[in-house]
Amino acid sequence: MSLLKEPDYGTPAREGAATVELTIDGMAVTVPPGTSVMRAAAQAGAAVPKLCATDSLEAFGSCRLCVVEIDGARGTPASCTTPVAPGMVVRTQTERVGRLRRGIMELYISDHPLDCLTCSANGDCELQDMAGVTGLREVRYGSGVDAGANHLDAPKDTSNPYFDFDASKCIVCSRCVRACDEVQGTLALTIDGRGFDSTVAAGAGVPFMESDCVSCGACVQACPTATLQEKSVVELGMPTRSVLTTCAYCGVGCSFKAELRGDELVRMVPYKDGGANEGHSCVKGRFAFGYASHPDRVLAPMVRDSIADEWREVSWEDAIGFTARRLREIQAEHGTGSIGAITSSRTTNEEVYVVQKMVRAVFGNNNVDTCARVCHSPTGYGLKQTFGTSAGTQDFKSVANADVILVIGANPTDGHPVFASRMKRRLRQGAKLIVVDPRRIDLVRSPHIEAAHHLQLAPGTNVAVVNAFAHVVVTEELVDREFVADRCEGFAEWTEFIARPEHSPEAVEEITGVPAGELRAAARLYATGGNAAIYYGLGVTEHSQGSTMVMGMANLAMATGNIGRDGVGVNPLRGQNNVQGSCDMGSFPHELPGYRHVADDDVRGIYEHLWGVDLRDEPGLRIPNMFDAAVDGSFRALFVHGEDIAQSDPNTQHVHAALAALDLLVVQDLFVNETAKFAHVLLPGTSFLEKDGTFTNAERRINRVRPVMAPSTGKHEWQIICEISQAMGYPMHYESAAQIMDEIALTTPTFAGVSFAHLDKVGSVQWPCNEAAPDGTPIMHKDGFVRGKGRFVETVYVPTRERSTRKFPLILTTGRILTQYNVGAQTRRTANVAWHPEDLLELHPHDAEVRGIRDGDMVVLSSRVGRTTLRAVLSDRMPVGVCYTTFHHPVTGANVITTENSDWATNCPEYKVTAVQVALTPEQASIHEKPAERPVTATERART
């Protein structure tokens, strides 16, 4: 399509029925109460000139360009700040307001460089547009350097790797400052000075890169001139066409306009009608797309007989033939179950579907698993056991109606920043916040936000804490009796369990480290504070009791009636873009698409009939089982689709041993990643910009992924899977990705109403989308749980076997940060490395001091399974005895440290609890041992 420019109505929409009737320029308009005259006029087709107004921000009323005349009103009010009233008669174009507007524009232009023809925003500048709209023909005050005092020599700040700030072009409309406040919620920008001296400043007069700016791009998006401009636009020029697609980073699933010149991607602009993000973005989705065209991309298939050999480029035909032949040979020698595959949470639903189909229908086993194994598999288990389906309950918008927000084991401002902005907006409006996390994450205290309670629990004690919450609810009679009686089962047995004294906050205080009084207060707030919503992340799931904890949270939500309506729920914040979708598509070894067990004859029959093969009725191997079986020799070949298990999975030594033991490892990826070092076949993958399909985000929203450019490898990934299947003797053919989705819809009841045509028509839908819910299901379990009655489950706290010892006295927990993503394969190949060039070990100053460690020292981090070296950062946001690092850089290899421990139900690794020791590296220690150099005194100098 040509360049897509969404209409800007000037001020935000107001909810409610359109009941206010007024007349604008002779046209009758009816809008909801609270709507501005500016917005009503725009909706009527009588757009009013504006500069400081944009509909992502509340009205500000500073530029005065939007003045109108209103019958019976004095003067010329600003239409942006004037709400509509019944019977109001508005005139937007009169001689009087025209004269005023030209006068305002004269003043603006008198202090603006007149370099429109060479300006990077030429053609996309609202100041330029308004000069035209207002009919400005002369500037009586002079212009440019002839206009007297001006800002034309104001310095340009180019410190940010993605955008420039050119103060000489700033009209001080405050849109950037307000976007940072209202949309992003970081409050990094301000207007410094007064009157003529007013300038936009990032923090206390420091460059953008040194400020609190998180580079979300909201200010760039809001800027009406070229003051804040993407460097890519400066370098390449204005884009000329747009393709609507979906971000491939986190599970928020933001919609973007990919804006191109010809076939060259110029910029990614968040799409206002995107259901997940509504026009907002983060530094990754907005700017960090350069990896897609990075020279490291592998574009041709490569093969080698042994991992000691050099890669040799081959044709697609040869690579596919080699792969198919070796897979069949290995099965012939070692049995049907000796091969398997891992699907990717980064690829599309359609790609995942065909990979699991290849395993079940062509490999003839159920040895398929997905990287969700190592992140949110406990969510799937826990929510299915309690609610009946493996998905979060709400849409993201729901948080706007939450009164109490309970964040457990999640760090949304880093991991899910665009959703975090929604959450922060609600918190600034007054919703109460409870944070359960060993670390003092940014949400605990940030501008205009302070958690009512931060329960800084000991790692590994989540279940004890959630049980104590429930104990308070039950014993203090805070249960929603009506909800429980109508909607749930197993309550009496659970009540008897949870009311036992050993679950009281006082009893578990010694285990959890959470003061009983604080926990009681938090539980009361959750139960009585109005709509209470739980948001959680991998700090819940990546534990030996991850699944138990998910069920514990579900118990809590059911007991308090916080399920089935807006503003409540149990909401997993998914790590990768298509974790939800990869699970939905039947990636788990025990489930066919739609979370239906392989032992279910009826479900298997659907696929057997369609695919023309008999399917196995027993579960296959999970990822860690595959590694164990590879080491013991019964599992010999693995197809890894778009995952870097050698870096991301725990206990690296064990993973490497497993991969090295394979007779055949096929890796499909964008880059020669760590896993590919053990591979025999490397099939080049397509970036999200080249894919055609769908992603499903954390709110079950199915979004279209549209090809921005043709596959640089010459093939779609689903085509490659089909060709391998065909080469293995099974005819698998689709004309398009849309046809794959049609098969998904045909066989999966929750997707029955989904098709590319429907998505193209409505934008996105949240499953279930079928005859019963043709428009999708933003909020689940409204009138009943998917399983019928919500099921209370007894959640016994069982301590992890991973304990701190004299040898390993600290507990390590791992996670990620804002600017990097997962194993860093993408973000490390962008300018995001400017913010996080290496993995760091966060350590409490006390733990550092007793080890002689200073801020910035290189340290050895060791556990019972391995050791690595990295730089220490002292931070009192860590509790004493706990340290933290990320796993974004292979050179650090943080998973050398993590162990084989896993969630009892799903084998999700226990990344969050590893007993470790930290010590200075010998080199660092020797530096410390040298006497500090001091200046030579005058006396000493005289002696020499």
Partner 1 sequence: MSTTTVPPHVRLANDIAVQFHHHTPNRAATEIAEHIRSYWEKRMKEALLAHIDAGGAGLDELAVRAAKLLRP
Binding flag, residue 548, partner 1 (CB under 8 A): yes
Taking the C-alpha atoms of residue 112 and residue 127, their distance in angstroms, rounded to an integer, is 10
Closest CB 393 distance from partner 1, rounded Å = 24
User: 567 with 401: CB under 8 angstroms?
Assistant: yes
The smaller minimum CB distance to partner 1, of residues 404 and 810, is found at 810
User: 314 with 322: CB under 8 angstroms?
Assistant: yes
**Burial class for 931, CB neighbours closer than 10 Å (0-12, 13-18, 19+):** exposed
Taking the C-alpha atoms of residue 216 and residue 545, their distance in angstroms, rounded to an integer, is 35
Candidates 229, 544, 577, 713; binder of partner 1 (CB under 8 A) is: 544
Taking the C-alpha atoms of residue 587 and residue 593, their distance in angstroms, rounded to an integer, is 7
Binding flag, residue 301, partner 1 (CB under 8 A): no
Taking the C-alpha atoms of residue 591 and residue 603, their distance in angstroms, rounded to an integer, is 10
Smallest CA-to-CA distance from 707 within 697, 717, 721 is with 717
Binding flag, residue 385, partner 1 (CB under 8 A): no
Closest CB 901 distance from partner 1, rounded Å = 8
Binding flag, residue 368, partner 1 (CB under 8 A): no
Give the distance from CA 743 to its chain's centroid. 28
The smaller minimum CB distance to partner 1, of residues 548 and 892, is found at 548
Closest CB 628 distance from partner 1, rounded Å = 4
Smallest CA-to-CA distance from 285 within 320, 318, 250 is with 250
Binding flag, residue 367, partner 1 (CB under 8 A): yes
SS (HEC) of 361-424: HHHCCCCEEEHHHHCCHHHHHHHHHHCCCCCCCCCHHHHHHCCEEEEECCCHHHHCHHHHHHHH
Binding flag, residue 787, partner 1 (CB under 8 A): no
The smaller minimum CB distance to partner 1, of residues 415 and 552, is found at 552
> Element (H or E) spanning 525, and its range?
helix 516-528
Please give the angle made by the CA atoms of 656, 660 and 663, to the nearest 5 degrees. 145
Candidates 3, 300, 672, 865; binder of partner 1 (CB under 8 A) is: 865
Closest CB 677 distance from partner 1, rounded Å = 21
**Burial class for 21, CB neighbours closer than 10 Å (0-12, 13-18, 19+):** middle
Taking the C-alpha atoms of residue 508 and residue 505, their distance in angstroms, rounded to an integer, is 5
Closest CB 506 distance from partner 1, rounded Å = 21
Site string for partner 1, 319-338 (x = CB under 8 A): ------------------x-
Closest CB 890 distance from partner 1, rounded Å = 19
Binding flag, residue 858, partner 1 (CB under 8 A): no
Taking the C-alpha atoms of residue 340 and residue 561, their distance in angstroms, rounded to an integer, is 43
Taking the C-alpha atoms of residue 592 and residue 169, their distance in angstroms, rounded to an integer, is 57
**Burial class for 129, CB neighbours closer than 10 Å (0-12, 13-18, 19+):** middle
Taking the C-alpha atoms of residue 727 and residue 323, their distance in angstroms, rounded to an integer, is 9
**Residue 342, strand partner residues:** 369, 640
Candidates 304, 428, 851, 867; binder of partner 1 (CB under 8 A) is: 867
Candidates 654, 656, 791, 816; binder of partner 1 (CB under 8 A) is: 654
The answer to whether the Cα torsion of 579, 580, 585, 591 is positive or negative is positive
Binding flag, residue 803, partner 1 (CB under 8 A): no
Binding flag, residue 512, partner 1 (CB under 8 A): no
Q: In this chain, which stretch among 49-57, 703-711, 835-843, 905-913 interacts with partner 1, using CB under 8 A?
A: 905-913
Candidates 900, 919, 921, 925; binder of partner 1 (CB under 8 A) is: 900
Candidates 69, 212, 518, 794; binder of partner 1 (CB under 8 A) is: 794
Tell me the three state secondary structure of residue 766. strand
Closest CB 800 distance from partner 1, rounded Å = 10
Omega within 30 of 0 (cis) for the link into 32: no
Tokens standing for residue 601: 């004859």
- Pure H helices in 633-699: 645-648, 652-661
The smaller minimum CB distance to partner 1, of residues 570 and 629, is found at 629
Q: In this chain, which stretch among 780-788, 872-880, 895-903, 923-931 interacts with partner 1, using CB under 8 A?
A: 895-903
Closest CB 638 distance from partner 1, rounded Å = 14
Binding flag, residue 753, partner 1 (CB under 8 A): no
Binding flag, residue 597, partner 1 (CB under 8 A): yes
Tokens standing for residue 189: 């920008």
Closest CB 621 distance from partner 1, rounded Å = 5
Site string for partner 1, 818-847 (x = CB under 8 A): ------------------------------
In order, the DSSP letters of 467-524 are: HHHHHHHHHTT---HHHHHHHEESHHHHHHHHTSGGGSHHHHHHHH---HHHHHHHHH
Candidates 820, 899, 917, 924; binder of partner 1 (CB under 8 A) is: 899
Closest CB 810 distance from partner 1, rounded Å = 17
Binding flag, residue 531, partner 1 (CB under 8 A): no
Tokens standing for residue 680: 């025999």
The smaller minimum CB distance to partner 1, of residues 170 and 905, is found at 905
Candidates 261, 524, 590, 854; binder of partner 1 (CB under 8 A) is: 590
Smallest CA-to-CA distance from 700 within 654, 652, 767, 781 is with 767
Binding flag, residue 25, partner 1 (CB under 8 A): no
Binding flag, residue 509, partner 1 (CB under 8 A): no
Binding flag, residue 875, partner 1 (CB under 8 A): no
Q: In this chain, which stretch among 21-29, 150-158, 647-655, 847-855 interacts with partner 1, using CB under 8 A?
A: 647-655
Taking the C-alpha atoms of residue 609 and residue 621, their distance in angstroms, rounded to an integer, is 24
Output helix, strand, coil percentages for the chain, rounded to the nearest 5: 35, 20, 45
Binding flag, residue 904, partner 1 (CB under 8 A): yes
Binding flag, residue 909, partner 1 (CB under 8 A): no
Binding flag, residue 489, partner 1 (CB under 8 A): no
The smaller minimum CB distance to partner 1, of residues 646 and 905, is found at 905
Closest CB 346 distance from partner 1, rounded Å = 25
Binding flag, residue 776, partner 1 (CB under 8 A): no
Of residues 616 through 635, those in contact with partner 1 by CB under 8 A are 618-622, 624-625, 628-629, 634
Binding flag, residue 552, partner 1 (CB under 8 A): no
Q: In this chain, which stretch among 224-232, 390-398, 637-645, 651-659 interacts with partner 1, using CB under 8 A?
A: 651-659
Interface residues with partner 1 (CB under 8 A) are: 337, 366-367, 497, 544-545, 548, 589-590, 597, 599, 618-622, 624-625, 628-629, 634, 651, 653-654, 794, 796, 798, 862-867, 899-900, 902, 904-907
